[in-house]
Amino acid sequence: MNTLPVCQTLLLEPHNGVLHITLNRPDCRNAMSLQMVTELRAVLAAVRDDRSIRALVLGGAGGHFCAGGDLKDMANARAQGQEAYRELNRAFGALLEEAQHAPQVLVTVLQGAVLGGGFGLACVSDIALTDHNAQFGLPETSLGLLPAQIAPFVVQRIGLTQARRLALTAARFDGHEARRLGLVHFVEHDAQALAERLDAVLAHVLCCAPGANAATKSLLLASTEQPLGPLLDQAAEWFSEAVTGAEGVEGTMAFVQKRKPGWAP
Q: Which residues pair with 136 in a beta bridge?
A: 114, 173
Q: Which fold has domain 10-206?
A: 2-enoyl-CoA Hydratase; Chain A, domain 1 (3.90.226)
* pLDDT tens per residue, range 50-68: 999 999 999 999 999 999 9
Res 214: pLDDT: 97
Res 15: pLDDT: 95
Res 244: pLDDT: 93
- What residue ranges of the chain have pLDDT lower than 50? none
Structural domain boundaries in the chain? 10-206, 210-256
Phi, psi at 106, each rounded to 5°: -105, 120
Res 204: pLDDT: 97
Res 195: pLDDT: 97
* pLDDT tens per residue, range 90-123: 999 999 999 999 999 999 999 999 999 999 999 9
State the DSSP string of the chain: -PPPPP-SSEEEEEETTEEEEEE--GGGTT-B-HHHHHHHHHHHHHHTT-TT--EEEEEESTT-SB-SB-HHHHHHHHHH-HHHHHHHHHHHHHHHHHHHT-SSEEEEEE-SEEETHHHHHHHT-SEEEEETT-EEE--GGGGT---TTTHHHHHHHH-HHHHHHHHHHT-EE-HHHHHHHTS-SEEESSHHHHHHHHHHHHHHHHTS-HHHHHHHHHHHHHTTTS-HHHHHHHHHHHHHHHHHSHHHHHHHHHHHTTS--TT--
Res 167: pLDDT: 97
Is-above-0.75 flag for pTM? Answer: yes
Phi, psi at 20, each rounded to 5°: -90, 120
Res 150: pLDDT: 96
Do the beta carbons of residue 146 and residue 240 sit within 8 Å?
no
